[in-house]
Structure 1
Amino acid sequence: MKLIYPGLAAALCLSSCITDPPTEPITSKEMRYQETFCNNPWGKAQTTTIDTIAAFLAARKINGTHLNLYGKVFDGVTIPNANCDTLTGRLVTFQVFFADTAKARSVGFYNF
C-alpha cells in the first residue's frame, strides 16, 4: 500500500505535463534572414521595409504568413562607407509554407 501512493503521484505528475497536439495541421516553418547593409536580395537596408520584402517574396512566388522585420539599422553607421556584408542588426522572420522552403532557402533564408 505504501508503494502505491508514490506510483500514483508520479503518474499524476507525468500526465499533467503532457500537452495535447495542435488541433490544426502544421503547414509552415519559421525561417529567418539576417539583414546586411547592401547584399540583401531585395535591395539595400536603408530603403528596406516590410512592403519591399513582401513584394520581393511575392515576385518569386515564395508563399507564407507572418512576415516581420525586427530591430533597426545601427545608429551612426553610414551605408555608403560600410562593408556590404556587415549585419545591420535587423532580423526578418517569415512563416514559409512547406512547399516553398527550398525557394526561401535559395534567396538566403535559413531555419533556426
Structure 2
Amino acid sequence: MKDQRGFLLIDVLLGCLLLTIALLSSGFAFQHSVKASAYVENYNGALRVARQVAEALRTNDGAQSFIANIPDQVKEGNMLYDVKVSPPDIVAGNESLVAVTINVSWGTDNLTIANYYYLKP
C-alpha cells in the first residue's frame, strides 16, 4: 500500500484564500461595471438634453429672446438635469455669428458644449 497522507489543513486554507480573492475581485469588477453603466446612461441623457437645447436655439430666429424659452430643468428618464445656457456672445469680426455655451448638470457631474449660431437678419 502506498503511503497517502491526503490534504493538509494548510492546503485547504490556501485554496479557500485563493477562492475568496477571486470572488472578491469579480464582485468589485461587477460593482464597478454597474456604476460605469449608470454613469454612461446619465451622460447620454445629458447629451440628449444638450442636443435638444442646441436644436431649439438653432431654430430660433435670433430675436432678442434668444434663450428665453429654454427650460431650467429637464427630466429625461429617471434623472432630472439642470440646464444653463450662457447669454449669446457676438463673435468678433462677424456680427451675425454668436457663441453660446450649454451646460447640463446632474448630481455632481456636468456636460458643457459650445455652439455657434448665425443670426437671421
Specify the TM-score bucket, using the shorter chain as the normaliser: 0.3 to 0.5
**Alignment TM-score, normalising by the size of structure 1:** 0.37
Bigger radius of gyration:
2
Greater per-residue helix proportion: 2
**Alignment TM-score, normalising by the size of structure 2:** 0.36
Greater RCO (CA < 8 Å, at least 6 residues apart): 1
